[in-house]
A and B are shown apart, each in its own frame.
Chain A
Amino acid sequence: MFLQQLINGLTLGSVYAIIALGYTMVYGILELINFAHGEIYMLGAYLVIIFLGIFTAMGLTSANFTLALILSIILTVVFCSAYGFTVEKVAYKPLRNAPRLSPLISAIGVSIFLQNFIMLTQGATDRGFPYRFGEGHLYFLNVDITYLQAMIIIVSGFLMFSLRIFIWKTRIGKAMRATSQDKTMAALVGINVNSIISVTFIIGAGLAAVAGVMVAAYYGLINYFIGYIAGIKAFTAAVLGGIGSIRGAMVGGIILGLVEGLGAAYISSEYKDAFAFIILIIILLIKPSGIYGREIDEKV
């Protein structure tokens, strides 16, 4: 029972972690809480269903389901990344030098826009994921893991690992880390700060899209409102880990998922969504900077 809930929590947590990465990366560079980020996850869930529908109409799904699924996921990620890129250019870039509240309001506006756009075009009722896959089970130490759960955990782990490599080992990653420390100085050493900001939004949106796809498949049911709650939970995960910290977002997401999974099992499943907010309140009271949000002493 305990191990089983641990696995369920880990599955959920890895999804939160992936969404939280987008929050924390954008915050690290722009000091902006991108409240429109959760909606990208929702968009990802819808798009994958739409693309799968298109491939079904073309006959590809029945011919080769895996190929259709992979193509749908790739297209979804590309679309969501393009969306994230565009939102930054349209809604945030013009406000780069505005007071800090303005981009935040702009973000909320973008979020309301996308929710309503999806509601109008896709309907306000729940949509089911049209295909079941990964339904086989693994039994391990009396724990029942579906293939889909295993896939979610493995894909998330792989994405987090790749992101870490990208940020710590590549030139663009180093430019991102420099930009997050001092944007003006990054520009003065010759870093194209606007491109770095775009890359950040593209990566964040791509990750959220993957999370959306995984959740659509996992729960099998989506609606236009799922981005809101997931967004707030991922935001909590990012704050828990220390906002701006990549490692923090990963750890925060996993912890949040585990708390939800175990809380739902041992306390009350009705309060499942409340655990995230209880955690948020506790961190804000005890350690507002989060687990890894330590400030380094700077000499001036």
Chain B
Amino acid sequence: MLKLTSINTSYGHIRALKGISIEVNKGEIVCLLGSNGAGKTTALMTVSGILKPDSGDIYFERESIKGLAPHLIVKKGICQVPEGRRIFPKFTVLENLETGAFVSAVQNFNKNLERVFSLFPILKERKNQTAGTLSGGEQQMLAIGRALMSNPRLLLLDEPSLGLAPILAGKIFKTIAEINNEGITILLVEQNANAALKLSHRGYVLENGSIKLHGSGEELLHNEDLKKAYLGI
């Protein structure tokens, strides 16, 4: 469904991605692991079109999306929930969800809204509250809900559990599985390698901008190097 081939992306003279190739198949949850600065966020921002790769290609459903403007990539069906959630703080919860629906057909609005509210009932309760006043967990739910409003086929999630209490993080992971069950393919970036691998069909490990390991979730979970480096076991 999504295929990155030998992608190189730089910030000025610093090369953040050094020829990475990643593939995500329809229906999968694929996670991208790695420490700070490994290039995980850069990879997602490159897919979303915010960063332009120097070389390599990105295919979405066999069609090259490299160099497309970000809003056109969203229209194609790839939506990202970026790191730090980045909800619109001055908008209410409902207005945030409305911005998510900018690219999808108007007649789907109510259906999508119902779906988001059934996934996250707390958002329905708080729909008229200013989003900047929500708790971290609620903001994360809102960010995911906002992305779902665009009716994506591929959801890019950047560190959805960052800064959340373990119980909330667990809830977010459960929701991700639920969203995937509804048929949405997911590319997940996480620092919480353990939880991410348990959830994922496959995983890639990034180190200094290159893919170091690649395998099924189960394989990576039991990989000795990975255990030492990221799982702290």
Contact = CB atoms under 8 A, between A and B. Distances in A.
A188 B74 contact: yes
Given A299-B133, A299-B134, A188 B88 contact: no
A191 B91 contact: no
Nearest to B73: A190
Contact of A299 (B74, B79, B86, B139): B139
B102 A298 contact: no
Contacts of B103: 189-190
Interface in A173-188: 174-175, 177-178, 181-182, 184-188
A270 to B, nearest CB: 43
B135 interface: yes
B88 A182 contact: yes
A189 B139 contact: no
Contacts of A57: none
A235 to B, nearest CB: 24
A296 interface: yes
Given A296-B89, A296-B132, A299-B132, A187 B139 contact: no
Given A190-B75, A298-B132, A300-B84, A177 B102 contact: no
A175 B132 contact: no
Contacts of B95: 174
A210 to B, nearest CB: 28
B136 A299 contact: yes
A174 B130 CA distance: 15
A194 interface: yes
A186 B102 CA distance: 10
Nearest to A185: B86
Contact of A178 (B69, B84, B91, B130): B91
A291 B50 CA distance: 35
Residue from the set A188, A192, A299 with the largest chain B CB neighbour count within 10 Å: A188
B90 A187 contact: no
A185 B147 CA distance: 11
A184 to B, nearest CB: 6
B53 interface: no
B100 A189 contact: yes
Contacts of A187: 48-50, 69-71
Interface in A249-299: 296-299
A186 B80 CA distance: 11
B86 A191 contact: no
Contact of B102 (A182, A190, A297): A190
Contacts of A300: 84, 136, 163
A193 B73 CA distance: 13
Contacts, number: 81
Contacts of A181: 88-91
B79 to A, nearest CB: 7
Contacts of B132: 296-299
A247 to B, nearest CB: 13
A299 B87 CA distance: 10
B150 interface: yes
B82 interface: yes
B28 interface: no
A191 B101 CA distance: 10
A181 B70 CA distance: 17
Contact of A188 (B70, B89, B98, B136): B70
Contacts of A177: 88, 90-91
A299 B133 CA distance: 7
Contacts of A186: 99
B29 to A, nearest CB: 20
A258 B88 CA distance: 36
A188 B48 contact: yes
Contact of A191 (B49, B80, B102): B102
Contacts of B89: 181, 296, 298
B99 A188 contact: no
Interface string B139-163: 1000000110010000000000001
A175 B75 CA distance: 15
Contacts of B135: 299
B75 A184 contact: no
Contacts of B74: 188-190
A169 to B, nearest CB: 12
B66 to A, nearest CB: 16
A189 B49 CA distance: 12
**CB-CB nearest 4 A-B residue pairs:** A190-B74, A190-B103, A187-B70, A185-B86
Given A174-B98, A187-B71, A296-B130, 4 more contacts: A188-B74, A189-B74, A191-B99, A299-B139
23 contacts: A171-B102, A175-B99, A181-B88, A181-B91, A182-B86, A184-B86, A186-B99, A188-B48, A188-B79, A189-B100, A189-B102, A189-B147, A189-B150, A190-B74, A190-B75, A190-B102, A190-B150, A191-B71, A191-B99, A297-B133, A299-B134, A299-B136, A300-B84
